[in-house]
A and B are shown apart, each in its own frame.
Chain A
Amino acid sequence: MSTNGDAAVKVVPVRHVGQWIGSAFLVLFVAMLIHTIFSKIPSGARTCRKLAGKYECQAILKWRFGWNDIFHYFTNDLVLKGLLITLELTALAMFIGIVLGVLVAIMRLSHSRLLSGAAWTYTWVFRGTPVYVQILMWGAIAFLYPKLAIGIPFTHIYLVQFGANTVFTLFNAAVMALGLNEGAYFSEIVRSGLIAVDEGQTEAAMSLGMSRGQTLRHVVLPQALRVIIPPTGNEVISMLKTTSLVSAIAVVDLLGAVTNIYNQTYQIMPMLIMASLWYLIVSTILSIGQFYVERHFARGALRTQPPTPIQRLRRDLRGIASKFRTKRGVQVGARP
């Protein structure tokens, strides 16, 4: 209790001793890790020079993480081509996945038992088997269906015929495999989004005379999007990484390109680190995009928008600055 009314009561924050000790260990560990990342080790080779008739030899040092190799290959044509394939696979597979997912989710919620049953079966099969196996199977689809044709079902009358391998090139097979697999997961995301929209919204739309399609298009889907968008961002980032599995059917994506390089140069770790850096760069860009898309779709649902990272950074910096102006537990200038 303050006895004189004017002076501010001092506030002394609790000291968290355990937190301090933990932090100290963490800082130590991180320092050690950073040191290894930017340290050099003997390469095994030595350089020697003749000094006053005697050879003086020195071990040649190289970056432990092979930074110079990474730097050298970072924008290599093969790597960039592989990266492009990875991006194409991600985009196409997500496109197929999203279209299929929305369709299957709507089928799943249909009153028709046949439609919802078909949707359920699709999800069951494609979610219940490993995507790696599915990629391998799509790569070998010609063993099951050597020829694709348009004609009259159950007869041998065909209008057009193709060889399966001309339609399902390895790239197309990879896109199909990833897209169909994604569709199964995505339909569940869409379904949960549609269910999350209050039933009153549908009733209100119907009471105004809007049709099922109009209700879905103008009222339910836009609101479901708020629930659907955040996991979609995760799915895109997850897809970016899953595409690396297509090396299984010899599609040369980013990982494939990198593997091809290290099979010749034996710089295995540097090349894998390089690939990881590229994946990190792309997924970081995607997460930034995700943040702003989510923010856009939260409009109308929240009274105030959460701050962007830049706004938060500014606020934090202001906070830190004001901390420096304050002594621990005592408002500077509050002293009598």
Chain B
Amino acid sequence: MTEPMVEAIGVHKSYVGVEVLKGVNLTVARGEVTCLIGPSGSGKSTFLRCINHLEKHDAGELLVDGELVGYELRSEKLYELNDRRICHERSQIGMVFQRFNLFQNLNVLENITVAPIRVKDVKEEQAKKFARELLERVGLEGKEKNYPAQLSGGQQQRVAIARALAMEPKLMLFDEPTSALDPELVGEVLDVMKDLARSGMTMIVVTHEMGFAKEVADTVYFLDQGVIEESGDPKVVLTSPSSQRLQSFLAKVL
């Protein structure tokens, strides 16, 4: 059996006195699409941010591709990694944010090429060529010279996906990628994500789009108050939930 891409065992995280994650267990196999759903404040985004160490988890084990995130185990002790190693770990995990977070000072092409050039020492010409391919893939050819402020939300989010893909990540994290979009623009972003899922990318998606979860996800996890309440095949979990909490959550969302 191949090693899972992401494995979380009892992950805890507290912010000054408030326990946000109370022991999250989760496994994501290679090439699988996993959706995290749950009410706001349930810890979905926090957990996602722990996976690329934007947040430090306090306890538990979190492994990506068989390696501990942010720490190193040596003689029974966990040593925090130095900045350089953490940067290297992050460079292999793509992340897409709710508010796009495109670099406002750079045009579309520069947004996509800056990290490959600076972090992976890719030649500028090569980075640009790959960036153009990615832009075509997300349906935005011809927008190379535009600045983020000149694009619609849906276009910005598609550029953000291309920017993450430019690093050729082994795992993609999506933090409510469509929540800040006008309803009519949600579809174009979801289409890009579906296409990405079909290409075999391992994805973890925090979302409120139940339709997307049902259609694309291999596994769905329902997170509530810092713990996984229920998980499994979305067609089962989302249509006939067994827990009271998920039933009432779905009743509100759908």
Residues of B within 8 A of A302 (CB): 149
**CB-contact partner of A210 in B93, B94, B118, under 8 A:** B118
- Residues from chain A with a CB closer than 8 A to the CB of B160 are 204
Q: Is the CB of B97 within 8 A of A203?
A: yes
A285 to B170, CA, bound (A): 54
* Chain B residue with Cβ nearest A217: B118
Kindly state whether residue B90 has any CB partner on chain A within 8 Å.
yes
Flag if A204 contacts B101 (CB, 8 Å): yes
B207 in contact (CB, < 8 A): no
Contact A201 B104 (CB under 8 A): yes
Assembled-state Cα–Cα distance A218/B116 (Å): 13
Interface centre among A204, A208, A222 (most CB of B within 10 A): A208
Contact of A204 among B83, B102, B118, B147 (CB under 8 A): B102
Q: How far is the CA of A210 from the CA of B114 in the complex (A)?
A: 9
Chain A residue contacts of B93, Cβ below 8 A: 207
Interface residues of B in 60-96 (CB under 8 A from A): 83-84, 87-95
Contact between chains at A210 and B104 (CB < 8 Å) = no
B115 within 8 A of A: yes
Are the C-beta atoms of A210 and B119 separated by less than 8 Å? yes
Chain B neighbourhood of A153, CB < 8 A: none
Residues in A with CB closer than 8 Å to B94 are 207-208
- Residues in A whose Cβ lies below 8 Å from that of B101: 198, 200-201, 203-204
Q: By the criterion CB–CB under 8 Å, are A222 and B90 in contact?
A: no
Contact A223 B119 (CB under 8 A): no
Docked pose: A208 CA to B169 CA in angstroms: 9
Pair A209/B119 contact, Cβ less than 8 Å: yes
Does chain A have a CB within 8 A of B59? no
Q: CB-CB < 8 A to B83: which residues of A? A: 211-212
Cβ of A301 within 8 Å of any chain B Cβ, yes or no, is: yes
Chain B hits for A72, CB < 8 A? none
Residue of B102, B106, B118 ringed by the most chain A CB atoms within 10 A: B118
Please tell me which one of the listed residues A208, A212, A219, A226 contacts residue B90 in the complex, with CB atoms under 8 A apart: A208
Q: Which residues of B contact A214 (CB under 8 A)?
A: 118-119
Interface check B107, CB cutoff 8 A = yes
Q: Which residues of B contact A299 (CB under 8 A)?
A: 147
Q: How far is the CA of A284 from the CA of B149 in the complex (A)?
A: 32
Chain A residues in the interface with B (C-beta under 8 A): 198, 200-201, 203-212, 214, 218-219, 222-223, 226, 299-303
Chain B residues at the A interface, C-beta cutoff of 8 Å: 52, 54, 83-84, 87-95, 97, 99, 101-107, 114-115, 118-119, 147-150, 160, 163-164, 167
Query: Can you list 18 A-B pairs, Cβ within 8 angstroms, ordered by A?
Result: A201-B101, A203-B101, A205-B115, A207-B54, A208-B91, A208-B115, A208-B164, A209-B87, A209-B89, A209-B90, A209-B91, A209-B115, A211-B83, A211-B84, A222-B105, A223-B105, A300-B106, A301-B105
Given A206-B54, A210-B115, A214-B119, 19 other A-B contacts at CB below 8 A? Answer: A200-B99, A200-B101, A201-B103, A204-B95, A204-B97, A205-B103, A206-B90, A207-B52, A207-B94, A208-B90, A208-B115, A209-B87, A209-B115, A211-B84, A214-B118, A218-B114, A223-B103, A223-B105, A301-B149
